[in-house]
Structures are given as C-alpha cells and as structure tokens.
Amino acid sequence: MDKILVHGGNSLAGSIKISGSKNSALPILAATLLTREPCTIHRVPDLSDTHYMLQILIHLGAQVERASGIVTVTADKVQSVAPYDVVRKMRASVGVLGPLLGRCKEATVSLPGGCVIGDRPIDLHLKGFEALGAAVRVEGGNVKVFAPKLAGAVINLRGKFGPTVLGTDNVMMAAVLAEGTTVIEGAAQEPEVCDLADFLNKMGAKIEGAGTRRIIVEGVSELHGAEHDIIPDRIEAGTFLVAGAIAGSGVTVNRVEPKHLTAITDALSGCGFKIEAKNQAITVSPNGAPKPLEITTEPYPGFPTDMQAQMCALLSTTEGISVITENIFPQRYMHVAELKRMGAQVQMEGSTAVIQGVERLTGAPVMASDLRASAALVLAGLKADGITEVSRVYHIDRGYEHLDEKLSELGAHIERVKA
C-alpha cells in the first residue's frame, strides 16, 4: 500500500484546476442505465470510486468507453443483479438500485457495508421505492426490489439526520419512469442532486424543484441518450482552500462554482482569512493571525460534513478554543486520534470536538481511515515540524484526483512512496 510523505514547512502559492465532482459523477454514471441510448459524460474524475462504478455498469451489461475525462456509456441491454464482490468496494453502488428499478422494474444489489464514518443505512431509499409500489426484500446480504409497475407517490425522505443525498438521487431515478407524478418532500438540496436532475432532464425526464426541499417528478415512458458536463468538485475545492489557509501565501482554485462553496468560504473568512471570489475562481490568503471558530455540520447549504476533518486540521493550529459539532455522521472523527499523535489538543464530547489550538504540530506516522480524514492528515502535515507519513492512501485515491501531485504544484514538499 502506497504512503504519502509530507515534509512540513513549505509555503503554498499558485493556482490549481479543480476536477469534476465525484459525488455528482457517481449518480450520473448510474443514471445512464435508464436508457438504451449512448450517454456521454464530460469531466468524470479519474478516481478509484468512478472506476468502481464503471466496473459495476459493465457487470450490469453496459458498454463503457473512456477517453481521459470523457466517458460514454451505452446500456442497451442490462441485467439487474449487482453482486457483493462488486458492490462491497463502494457504498455509493447502492445508487444503481433506483435506475435498475426504473428501467427493469427489479434490482438485486448487495447491501452496502458500514464504514468508519458510521453506519450507512438505506432505509429511506427503500421507503421511497416502496412508496412507488415496489416490494422490498432483504435476504442473504442483498436487497431485492421489484415492482410490476411503478406509480407516482408523495414521499417524505427526511430522516433523523436530515435529508439523504443518495436516497434523493435513487428515488428520483426510480420515479422518472413511473406512471404519474412523484413529490419528494424533505429532499436533499446538494448541488450534486441538482446536477443529476439536470442530466435526467436532458435525457427527457420532467423534474422540477431540484435544489429545494421539494422535488416534483412527472413520469415519462422512456428516456433517451444525452451529453453532460459534471459540475466542479466543491469538496476538492474546499480541501485546497483549507490547504492554502494552513500553509499558503495565496492559493487559488480554478474552475469552481463559488456559490457552491459559500459555507466553506464563510468559515475561512470567519477564521480571518482573506477570500476573493472572481468568476470561476476563489483565492484564499493569510490576513493576520487566524481566529478560532465554532462550526456545525449541516445539510447543504450548511457547512458540509465532508469538510469537517479538513477544518479540524486547520483549527488544530489556530490559537484559541474552536468547537466543531458533527450532525450528519456523529462518529466521523477518525482523524482526531491521528491528529493527536501529531500533537493536536482535541477533547471529544459526544459528536462535538473541542479544539485547543497549538503553535505547531509535529510530523508523525499516521493512518488514513476514510477519504476526508486522510486528506485532513496530509493537510496537517503541510505545516507540521518534520515529516508526516500517511499510510493507506488508497482512501485518498478514492476521492481525490492526484492530491499529492496537485499539492506539489503549489509548492508542497510531498512524495508518494510506492509500497
């Protein structure tokens, strides 16, 4: 397993081009199952998660062509069973349930395992499918859904932790070919849900209200092929802005959608950093001593849970007491123990982290555990004394396109050691 060595102390400067969004590409690639015609998707990031999704589509019978970031999928004939050995690698594989149910009126997908950020139930997805008329059975580690026909319904998809992103995606994809109108109340408002709805509408679906809590889907008889550009990855952009805050003298992220990042740029402004947004670029610059902050993760447009670990790394060396409360995945603190190995002072109180900023962290061997925690450890190493050795970097490669290379381009002293 590869390792990343971060030699702390270099200052970052310059600009970086942000890739297409992982969390938009995954459901959009799944949505290509809804038509037998070719679909061409641009700016698909080169990640292990997108590779896994393409493997699943191929397993289901689709033809896939990939030329750098452009992927063409033709799902002329599909079968509706996605087995464990394919699904287990990536939880987002559950996102094929909705399109398979819509297209084939049945689907069998292995239940996703839990992961280090917590139990990852899909009860809300299944509630939505049942409301559309599907029968749901869980047996032998698989979830089976089938429906003689799908009929529009009014569905509330809000759970005790708020809306579900992939649940909203899945139900939307099952509803586009249902008879009649479906209303999804309590829908997720993330930009990635909007991007999926935009793609489905290009395929001939009739979806209104994406981006609000209420999405209305008018069922149609079939969908046709379409071409689509994936939106920029707001979490990758946020990760580089935090890197610039930790160790930068002026870092710019290019090809971003600033309106998707306001919760992140507001937080960095709250820490005292200078933020300049212009067209499709945002620059973060130091502006005096950073200030401590209180952050609570919330569904979009609130502060994203996927940026919580990265902010932990920044606030660990921000003088004063900062408080982070994680409302979406209360256990999402695998990075804290590793940051403490580097000298961070963090006190956990349930799903709240109380951080006493220290002058400097010290480089140490640390272990990546999930995608965003891993990125946070690399960021922490940028300003730490000495070398931070991050192992199990396959977690990083799941969701970041060449993170180490992009940080090197900004001036970081960082190397990947092939194990």
Question: Which chain residues interact with ligand EPZ by CB under 6 A?
Answer: 22-23, 26, 92, 120-125, 159, 161, 164-167, 188, 305-306, 328-329, 371-372, 399
**Interatomic CA distance for residues 365 and 122, integer angstroms:** 35
DSSP helix, strand, coil percent of the chain (3-state; round to 5): 35, 30, 35
Residue 231's SS3 state is coil
**Of residues 269 and 327, the one with the C-beta less far from ligand EPZ:** 327
Least Å distance, CB 145 to ligand EPZ, is 14
Give the DSSP per-residue string, 277-291.
EETTEEEEE--SS--
Burial class (CB in 10 A: 0-12, 13-18, 19+), 1: exposed
**Of residues 92 and 364, the one with the C-beta less far from ligand EPZ:** 92
* Active-site residue, 115 included: yes
**Interatomic CA distance for residues 222 and 217, integer angstroms:** 14
On whether the CB atoms of residues 301 and 263 are closer than 8 A, the answer is yes
**Of residues 123 and 276, the one with the C-beta less far from ligand EPZ:** 123
**Of residues 47 and 205, the one with the C-beta less far from ligand EPZ:** 47
Peptide bond into 301 cis (omega under 30): yes
**DSSP H/E element including 169:** helix 165-175
Least Å distance, CB 111 to ligand EPZ, is 12
Widest pairwise Cα distance in the chain:
64
Least Å distance, CB 150 to ligand EPZ, is 19
Of 115, 194, 271, 312, the active-site residue reads 115
Least Å distance, CB 305 to ligand EPZ, is 5
**Of residues 184 and 364, the one with the C-beta less far from ligand EPZ:** 184
Least Å distance, CB 338 to ligand EPZ, is 17
Residues with a catalytic annotation lie at 115
